[in-house]
Amino acid sequence: MGSGQVTSSVSPDFQGMHVTVAGLGVSGVPAAKVLHARGAIVTVVNDGDDARAREQAAELEALGVTVRLGDTASVSGSAAGTLPEGTELVVTAPGWKPDKPLFQAARAAGVDIWGDVELAWRLRGRDGREAAPWLAVTGTNGKTTTVQMLASILRAAGLRTAAVGNIGVSLLDAVLEDQAYDVLAVELSSYQLHWAPSLRAHSAAVLNVAPDHLDWHGSMEAYAKDKGRVYEGNRVACVYNVADKLTEELVRGADVEEGCRAVGFTLGTPGPSQLGVVDGILVDRAFVENRRENAQELAEVSDVNPPAPHNIANALAAAALARAYGVPPTAVRDGLRAFTPDAHRIAHVADVDQVAYVDDSKATNTHAAEASLASYGSIVWIAGGLAKGATFDELVAKSAKRLRGVVLIGADRALIREALARHAPEVPVVDLDRTDTGAMLAAVREARRLAVAGDTVLLAPACASMDMFANYNKRGDAFAQAVRELGA
């Protein structure tokens, strides 16, 4: 067992270094500013040339950064295909695919490629400050909620912390902030992990691994490998999901520090070195003395908001990371009680005629939708949108017994309808041949017609939203507004 340290040809001193930043947006602009402030000669290349990109470009050009907009950033044979002249390092936005001509040229020239997370990792603890440890979370679903729970628990322990990374708060901002943090709760996507070769977290968790973003990674194997990078070099704990064997396999394959432990979380009774649930109590058998004989109560299931099975799993993963950092049991309880989930995550909107209406618009893939559907007994399901290459047979087969009815919307609804015909032919299905935003009101009205007292009308689309809405937030807002109109 070794530290797994990664070496690089790049010096942490950027003075006079020619750096190409690939992509603008929420990560590229801060990266360009940070590098420029440290004396690098920065060129930004960006695929898009819309109004937002031009505004960001003007901001950077005013500082002295060169910006190239349009297809020169990605088209084979373009200037970017041979790299901007003199490039010594490429720093990329996480969403840029590894097969971009720019990256092919960089690899051919022996130029390192970092993501914004790698840049933040390299810069942490500089300027004479002690580097805050990172508690890292990845997974196909549940990352944001788990990281927010973790941050709430850490705050309840009196620690200065923040939920950062893929959650929308820049890691660069966090590591360079004037007042140093004690510890950071870090959400990491598979994209970010792909471009972060030297990241070494204090402890990390992989919540689950299900097919997603396979068009970016190229295969399920490559996707899982990038998820597993989060475990590399962990010092204290690699947290895995007992119900997802692939997460445990990723732990077994990781090169970690000597003494780092595998810690599982389960919705069942925990074994030694696990956290789990006993008689409605969240229990720790990993971070206690004589864990073969002893267990520590952490919180009640009712302290988790909402107490759906997959959210309890999120809470256990957050608790495991917090306990790995040495947080006391009372902080786990207090942090979970203080946590409020973001909108559009199994959010109860209203009860109308004794039927509950629940918005889980964030369930943009089949794995998330399966967890959402498992939270209720009798459901009228509103589903559909952009499938992103997904298939729905397994989801429908597992959920069929819970379905009172289904209302389908969106561009790829036929895929779900066909799966329903194969695996739940007795379930009534309303197929709304519409992709306009007004279709949501029609969908909610149809769902009301199908539901009876005690049912849950659940928006858990299992698909992306962009065929009808700007994002899943707008889709959830439309659902909530339609429900309000029912009760008016």
CA dist., res. 411 & res. 150, Å (int): 37
Kindly tell me the burial class for residue 82, based on how many C-beta atoms sit within 10 Å of its own C-beta (0-12, 13-18, 19 or more).
middle
Ramachandran quadrant class, 83 (left: phi over 0; alpha: psi -120 to 50; beta: rest): left
Radius of gyration of the chain (CA): 24
3-state SS, residue 133: coil
Going edge to edge, which strands form the sheet with 429-431?
Answer: 347-352, 355-359, 456-459, 379-383, 403-408, 429-431
Q: Are strands 379-383 and 403-408 parallel, antiparallel or unpaired?
A: parallel
Ligand-binding annotation for 391, yes or no, is no
Could you give the count of Cα atoms lying within 13 Å of 151 in the half-sphere of its Cβ?
Answer: 24
Ligand-binding annotation for 140, yes or no, is yes
Ligand-binding annotation for 264, yes or no, is no
| Contacts (Cβ under 8 Å, ≥6 apart) of 124 | 131, 132, 175
CB 311 within 8 A of CB 133: no
Ligand-binding annotation for 253, yes or no, is no
Ligand-binding annotation for 23, yes or no, is no
Ligand-binding annotation for 66, yes or no, is no
What does the angle CA 137 – CA 138 – CA 144 come to, to the nearest 5 degrees?
70
The token pair that represents 418 in the structure block: 């066909």
3-state SS, residue 347: strand
What does the angle CA 390 – CA 213 – CA 112 come to, to the nearest 5 degrees?
165
| Contacts (Cβ under 8 Å, ≥6 apart) of 299 | 281, 282, 315, 319, 332, 333, 336, 337
Ligand-binding annotation for 7, yes or no, is no
Going edge to edge, which strands form the sheet with 18-22?
Answer: 66-69, 41-46, 18-22, 89-92, 112-115
| Contacts (Cβ under 8 Å, ≥6 apart) of 44 | 20, 21, 22, 23, 24, 28, 32, 57, 60, 65, 66, 67, 68
- For the four alpha carbons of 61, 66, 71 and 74, in that order, the dihedral sign comes to negative
Name the binding residues for ATP.
139-145
Name the binding residues.
139-145
